[in-house]
Amino acid sequence: MSDIAYYTEEGLKKLKDELHDMKTVQRPIISEQIAEARDKGDLSENAEYDAAKEAQGLLEMKIAKMEELISKARIIDNSMIDDSKVFILSTVTIKNVSNGMEMEYTLVAESEADLKAKKISIDSPIGKGLLGKKAGDIADVQTPNGVIQFEIISITR
């Protein structure tokens, strides 16, 4: 299975900005903390030094993961998305079949998901249930409380 992840231009820029911050702001701060702790003497009993080294290790791990994520990232061309079916970046109006409640969500990559902004991940139960469906279809969404049915009212970009 491919590890390629699809992002909007905005989402990929956000990842790159975060990586830039880690490398240019956070990394020098931690290096400075290590130097200050080293200057305080005996490293074998220096808790500040140990904490700074641990923070450095965690930051370097985050940087490596972020670089790998960015290397596998692809930008989605919004103009190439077919509005007849639900895909990533589709804005979908759905209706809960059991209670008639309507909701509108935009399907996005996991890292761009933000429920307050009505952006849900394509990897979420609802996202998975909606993918590939057309307007008028019923999507069965598996939840911890059982299957919920959603009718797809409309699909836009």
Domains, in order of start, for the chain: 5-75 (1.10.287.180), 78-156 (3.10.50.30)
Q: By C-alpha distance, which of 105, 103, 155, 108 is closest to 134?
A: 155
> What are the pLDDT tens digits along the chain (157 aa)?
457 777 778 888 989 999 999 999 999 999 999 888 888 777 777 788 888 899 999 999 999 999 998 898 888 766 666 678 888 888 999 999 989 999 999 998 887 888 899 999 988 999 999 998 999 999 998 888 889 999 999 998 7
pLDDT of residue 120: 92
pLDDT of residue 73: 86
* pTM for this entry: 0.65
